[in-house]
Amino acid sequence: MPLEDTASTINVIDYNFGLSRQKTSNRNSGVPLHFFLPTSPDSAPFHYRPSFHFPASNHSLNVIRPFTLAHGTTTLGFIFQGGVIAAADTRASAGGLVACPAVHKITPIHSHLVVTSSGSGADCMLWERILAREIRLYQLRHRQRLSIRGAAKLLSFMLHPFKGTDVCVALTLCGWDKEAGNTGCLIYVCSDGTRLQGDVFSVGSGSPYAYGVLDRGLRWSLSRDEAISLAREAVFRATHRDAYSGNNVDLFHITAQVHQV
């Protein structure tokens, strides 16, 4: 279902967590279409784009960090005849420090959708909550859920203003799309606005090793148990070669409903 609807009430909310300005229309029986449109600290308001160039902000250079925060993880998702499998390790790292051994990098967003996250932990948690909120609001207002492709397009549109900033988010949407003919759907969205759809994705510092296992064993005709075993092995092998991945393996099987394995 297209995201654009010029005959609806549009609420444009700046990135101020509360204050909003509303543009209204008397058409479409007053049914609102409300999407969160964040702006970066240096961007102009949504309705005004000057022709001259603003210099990039260097506010991040003023933050003194005790050590370099190198990010690392291993997440993956793939489609097979029985649905979609999502898997990830559970190690959160900060440079050479294992900050937490039991982080959940796969987040259920809706009854038909989970998201695997890679990048800055704080950024990923924020944007997952924003996406979950917008999907829920869409369903409440339109009495139908937003498709996986629609959710990915919305997320990409919201992230694009932050291109070139310190925002570090790489999310893979793993879901079941009734609008596309009751089939699995896998879409990768990055913090620069990149949006890619495919049958298999692995993201993070351990992804090259995970791809090696997936390329060898992945096929459409896998059974559910075989697909779960393949995903578990791919993440497990990656944790042995990638220092920033490790500890446990989280697994989800997505059909018309989300099932944690």
pLDDT tens, 84-127? 999 999 999 887 788 899 999 999 999 889 999 999 999 999 99
Residues 6+ apart with CB under 8 A from 55: none
* CA angle centred on 236, ends 234 and 237, rounded to 5°: 70
Residue 197 contacts residue 179 (beta carbons within 8 Å): no
**Active-site residue flag, 74:** no
Q: Pick the catalytic residue: 6, 68, 73, 116?
A: 73
Regions of the chain short of the pLDDT cut 50: 1-29, 31, 44, 46-61
Residue 80 contacts residue 220 (beta carbons within 8 Å): yes
Assigned token pair, 166:
């310190």
- Give me the domains of the chain, ranges plus CATH numbers: 75-254 (3.60.20.10)
Bridge partners of residue 189, in order along the sequence: 171, 195
Rounded to whole angstroms, what are the CA distances from 202 to 6, 74, 109, 154?
37, 7, 19, 22
Provide the pLDDT for residue 25.
Answer: 45
Provide the pLDDT for residue 41.
Answer: 54
Q: Output the pTM of the full model.
A: 0.74
Q: How do strand 200-203 and strand 21-23 relate by DSSP bridges?
A: unpaired
Assigned token pair, 136:
């829920």
